[in-house]
Structure 1
Amino acid sequence: MGNTSSMLTQYDIEEVQEHCNHAFSQQEIVSLYHRFCQLDRSGGGFVSSDEFLSVPEFAVNPLSQRLLRMLDGLNFKEFVAFLSAFSSRTSLQQKIEFIFKVYDLDCKGKVAFNDMLSVLRDLTGSFMTEQQRQKVLTHVLEEAGYTKDSSLALSDFMKILGNSELKMDVEVPID
């Protein structure tokens, strides 16, 4: 699987399925492999930040820089595991874990008010003032029983988002 010019074997497909907790069917994995090979222009078996930015939908995503931190240098198996957060077969807990990683820029297992404010800033751009963002975020935290001074762990994210209906599903076209 390291060399993207080779074809996937049945063993490779099953191994990738296992690695991503069966978030994708075998046909979807084959389709994702073809897309991975298109992105891996160097043919080295890994996709770089520049290669990800060649996808127009990704390049214009307000969170692209945060996501690149998680994506740069992924091999195919890691690429599929990353995308599994967007599968309809992925549990709510796995989706929340993914969201937490987006917020936890320093990878220390805690998310502070300023981390959340930074994501909100990326998402809202000039549509909201800094004061409006702070007010909204403060209100959301207070509704969940937290304050601006709270540092949230993954378990806190689970508590806050655990009853929500996250819509993070992307359909994989099958070739």
Structure 2
Amino acid sequence: MGCFTSRFKQRFPGYDGPKELASQTSFTVSEVEALFEMFKDISGSMADDGLISKEEFQLALFKNSKKENLFANRIFQLFDLKHRGALDFSDFVKSLNVFHPHTSLEEKVNFEFKLYDLDDTGFIERTEVKEMLYALQKESEIRLSDATVETILDKTFQDIDGNQDGKIDKDEWSHFVSRRPSLMKIMTLPYLK
């Protein structure tokens, strides 16, 4: 049995068993086992190394490993808990935990804030929101004039930036989201309810 476990851990670096991961997350053992099946499919889609590369992550999301996507890149970066450019199974489960219905609203808000804080400064700045808007346009068929983008930015910061310092801090973000619960719907995987 020890030899099998050793080979299995070599094939899936960072593998923590379902019971261990269930005890560290909101997932049940059977949900962790189901996530492992998904992980195996994704991690073996381009290279059979037991890890999910950024390209495999994008392939799973878009069916295209070459398509650059700011949101997918940022989510991958936040999921890469060990900062090594690839996700192991433990990273995958612990990161997906933020989308579990039983994960606290505070954790969800913090993750969403980090998603938009592209420069990891602890603030969401106008340039980051602008970059997101341009990325959304590039990925969709919507085209907005520069003046419209500036109007959206002005309105966004007027609504969220309570102290009008030109950047959105975590408290301002939390307050904004608390008044708009629909923004948090994307932070919960409905099939887990």
Length-normalised TM-score, structure 2: 0.72
Q: How far off is 1:31 after superposition?
A: 0.7
Distance (Å, rounded) in 2 between the aligned partners of 1:107 and 1:62? 15
Matched, 1:32 2:32: no
Matched, 1:170 2:170: no
Pick 1 or 2: higher relative contact order, CA cutoff 8 A, min separation 6: 1
Q: Percent identity?
A: 21
Tell me the equivalent position of 1:92. Answer: 105
Contact in 2 for aligned 1:4/1:37 (Cα 8 Å) = no
Q: Which amino acid aligns with 1:127?
A: R
Q: Which amino acid aligns with 1:102?
A: L
Q: Go from structure 1 to structure 2 and tell me whether the alpha carbon gap of 1:4 and 1:89 turns closer, same or farther (over 3 Å shift).
A: farther
Q: How far off is 1:17 after superposition?
A: 2.2
Q: Go from structure 1 to structure 2 and tell me whether the alpha carbon gap of 1:133 and 1:5 turns closer, same or farther (over 3 Å shift).
A: same
Q: How far off is 1:2 after superposition?
A: 4.3
CA displacement, residues 106-134 of structure 1 (integer Å, 9 cap, x when unaligned): 22222211111211222234432232122
What pairs with 1:47-62 in structure 2 (closer than 5 Å)?
A: 47-57=52-62, 59=64
Tell me the equivalent position of 1:16. Answer: 21
Identify, as 1 or 2, the structure richer in helix.
Answer: 2
Match of 1:73 among 86, 110, 135: 86
Q: How far off is 1:69 after superposition?
A: 2.5
Number of matched pairs:
167
Length-normalised TM-score, structure 1: 0.78
Contact in 1 for aligned 2:21/2:90 (Cα 8 Å) = yes
Contact in 2 for aligned 1:111/1:153 (Cα 8 Å) = yes
Which secondary structure state, in structure 1, belongs to the residue aligned with residue 115 of structure 2?
helix
Identify, as 1 or 2, the structure richer in strand.
Answer: 2
Q: Go from structure 1 to structure 2 and tell me whether the alpha carbon gap of 1:25 and 1:163 turns closer, same or farther (over 3 Å shift).
A: farther
Contact in 2 for aligned 1:46/1:73 (Cα 8 Å) = yes
In angstroms, what is the RMSD of aligned CA positions? 2.8
Contact in 1 for aligned 2:12/2:88 (Cα 8 Å) = no
Contact in 1 for aligned 2:43/2:56 (Cα 8 Å) = yes
Tell me the equivalent position of 2:147. Answer: 131
Distance (Å, rounded) in 2 between the aligned partners of 1:47 and 1:76? 8
Distance (Å, rounded) in 1 between the aligned partners of 2:21 and 2:159? 40
CA displacement, residues 17-51 of structure 1 (integer Å, 9 cap, x when unaligned): 2333x1x2222111111111112223433211111
The structure whose Rg is larger is 2
Match of 1:156 among 148, 168, 172: 172
Contact in 1 for aligned 2:101/2:189 (Cα 8 Å) = yes
Contact in 2 for aligned 1:31/1:172 (Cα 8 Å) = no
Q: Which amino acid aligns with 1:34?
A: E
Match of 2:116 among 103, 119, 131: 103
- Where in structure 1 are there 5+ consecutive unaligned residues? none
Q: Go from structure 1 to structure 2 and tell me whether the alpha carbon gap of 1:152 and 1:27 turns closer, same or farther (over 3 Å shift).
A: same
